[in-house]
Homo-oligomer: A and B are copies of this chain.
Amino acid sequence: MAKKHDGSRVRDALRVDGALPDPGATPVGPGKKAKALAGLESAGERLSALQEALYAEGVGGGTRRVLLVLQGMDTSGKGGTVSHVLGLVNPMGVRYAAFKKPTVAERRHEYLWRIRKQLPGPGQIGVFDRSHYEDILVPQVSGLLTAAERRRRYAEINAFEAELAEAGTTVLKVFLHISPEEQLKRLKARLVTPEKRWKYNPGDLEARSHWPAYQEAYAGIFEKTPTWYAVPADHKWYRNWAVAELLIETLADLKPRFPAPDYDVDAELAKLKGVGVPS
């Protein structure tokens, strides 16, 4: 899809358009850890304020919402992003869903069935830790998807996302871009640290062995489905900073507004004056 410039500094820099940036690069924003951490802290305040306004809008009858889709190879930091970026805002306004290997029950439905059940409500920020894109990636890499089937899935997903947009959902799709060298380090860290062993899955090495096939499958997705952003993710501090800024730019675009009261403020204040203390 053609690159669109909309004057948003971080989105313009990270929007996928052909080749991806180096996973260790810092194409926009802070190039050093200390600056990125300070930036994330200030981002927390802006993010919270925008999130609260969006939530209030939802309470006031608004239907807009945001869905952050996180994709990336194992250890690319999807969970860490949720913790460090979404952890900055009020949990009331966040709806998180992880999509693992489909269960037997889930496989009895079409692949968007379980996705639809986890969509954010009005005023919420939904977060998908993996998503319907796994339903292209995994079968494509396993050789279980013909080219015609793949084209059909692109079309189905595009129609699905258009339907979401129509219902007031802004979808922000982020690919956390990690290098195979960094993945190897992180897998090792998971094995040698007892409290991290639960995060390790022997299947991760199998997926890793298909690295080029996954990159190719992602390239197809970036080309055939609407706007993606690639966040260099070898530095966790850069990843967190960048996702927070992408989310802020997306929310700021919506200009969420506290709803006007649907009652007469002065009349209510007058009523309060006459109210005693119940006993």
Question: A92-B82, A205-B272 are contacts. A265–B87 as well, Cβ < 8 Å?
Answer: no
- Tell me which residues across on chain B come within 8 A of A60, comparing CB atoms: 198
Q: Residues of A within 8 Å of B, CB-based: how many? A: 51
- B-contact bits for A160-181, CB 8 A (1 contact / 0 none): 0000000000000000000011
Min CB distance, A277 to chain B, in Å?
5
Min CB distance, A84 to chain B, in Å?
9
Q: Does A9 contact B (CB under 8 A)?
A: no
Question: A187-B272, A272-B187 are contacts. A265–B90 as well, Cβ < 8 Å?
Answer: no
**Copies of this chain, whole number:** 2
The dominant DSSP class at the A interface is helix
Q: Which of A132-140, A141-149, A206-214, A238-246 contacts B (4 or more CB under 8 A)?
A: A206-214
- B-contact bits for A192-225, CB 8 A (1 contact / 0 none): 1011011111100100111110000000000000
Min CB distance, A205 to chain B, in Å?
6
Nearest residue, chain B, Cβ from A124: B96
- Tell me which residues across on chain B come within 8 A of A187, comparing CB atoms: 272
Nearest residue, chain B, Cβ from A185: B272
